[in-house]
Homo-oligomer: A and B are copies of this chain.
Amino acid sequence: MTRRFLPLALGAIAAVAALIGLSAPVRAGADDDALLETARALFAPLPTDYATAERPITPERVALGRMLFHETRVSADGAVSCARCHLAALHGTDGLPRSIGVHGKALPRNASTVLNTAGQFVQHFGGNRADVEEQAARALLSPFAYGNPDHATAMARLAAIPGYRPLFEAAFPGDPDPVSARNWSLAIGAFERTLATPGPFDRWLAGDTRALSPSARAGLATFVETGCAACHNGPLLGGRTYQRFGITMDYWQATGSERVDQGRFEDTKNDADRLMFKVPPLRNIARTAPYFHDGSVATLGDAIRVMARTQLGRTPGDADVARIEAFLEALTGEVPAHFREAPTLPPGAFTAAR
């Protein structure tokens, strides 16, 4: 076990302490006003949606994107859709270490929840997708996901279903070529940008002191004190920076990972990116087992222990782990009704490649 990154971790804890204006770390049991003040400095309530000026939400795009999210007939084997690996029934994940995509292939990494994903600074564990729209467009071509040889093939499959064209025309008025991969990704992006899941923690941040149980509040204090919030901060408690996975020890010794995934380096081949991963958001984390980029850890308690060991060089006691779990449970929100409810897709048979 290497300790060479320990100063970094200690620096991170000090940075948190400085950020929140404390001379000493917050202690569990500190009074609620102080805890709320600390929390408001580190975190923020979820927004209502993740629309931006460049990525507007319109009802027509969201309605179409919601349908396309469930559309299997655009994949190479006719069985893959976004919903295949992002089940509303499992808070936008699939319970698998690594998802099973087209032709039964395992994807390289664990499928993160689609809930609140649009609020991150980049997509995917390696950050190799700028936003949800790029993720959607490239998934169509991934040999692990939809498996299409090119966008034209994918769109030909979609265009073979007569009911879609008027829906694309309504969502992208004036576009002479509405059934396009670009519009496919913009529509799915618009839908995903609506998937915000506020929960008890947001109500507590807004001033409802009873929204968090005493153990959840104690867990929050422990979460901050331990240093977790150095990376897991902001409205999503993550999803805004990269971090090295394994600061105080090699991560795979803690997770039991079968393969050493080098994180961003796998894409960039830049040495500075070795073992760097996007810090995952913790929203709905209690509902999205298994954990980490390879789903190598099955339970939330073990994931907390792995994080403490690999990132902070700590071995938390069972009581601390239980408290943090209680806090993380308060990050669970309701799956939005328009995601839970399946749309009615236009009828038509899957068109296999000729």
Contact = CB atoms under 8 A, between A and B. Distances in A.
B349 A89 contact: no
A90 interface: yes
A349 B289 contact: yes
A315 interface: no
Contacts of A97: 349-350, 352
B72 A350 contact: no
Contacts of A72: 87, 90, 94-96
A104 B299 CA distance: 28
Most buried by B among A79, A104, A295, A352: A79
Interface residues of A, number: 44
Nearest to A296: B349
A interface secondary structure, majority = loop
Candidate in A99, A290, A344 with the most chain B CB atoms within 10 angstroms = A344
B349 A298 contact: yes
A47 interface: no
A68 to B, nearest CB: 11
Contacts of A99: 79
Chain B CB within 10 Å, residue with most, of A67, A73, A89, A350: A89
A352 B290 CA distance: 12
Interface stretch (A182-190, A191-199, A259-267, A334-342): A334-342
A287 B347 contact: yes
A99 B349 CA distance: 12
Contacts of A347: 90-91, 286-289
A335 B342 CA distance: 10
Contacts of A104: 77, 100, 103-105
Contacts of A283: none
21 contacts: A67-B89, A72-B87, A78-B94, A78-B95, A78-B96, A79-B94, A79-B99, A84-B84, A89-B344, A89-B345, A90-B345, A95-B348, A100-B104, A289-B348, A289-B349, A295-B349, A298-B349, A299-B349, A335-B344, A340-B341, A341-B342
For the complex of A and B, the 6 pairs showing the least CB-CB separation, nearest first, are A104-B104, A290-B349, A88-B342, A298-B349, A79-B100, A289-B349
Given A95-B350, A97-B352, A289-B347, 12 more contacts: A72-B94, A77-B104, A78-B96, A78-B100, A79-B84, A79-B96, A79-B99, A87-B342, A89-B345, A97-B349, A289-B349, A337-B341
Interface of A: 67, 70, 72-73, 77-79, 84, 87-91, 94-97, 99-100, 103-105, 286-290, 295, 298-299, 335, 337, 340-345, 347-352
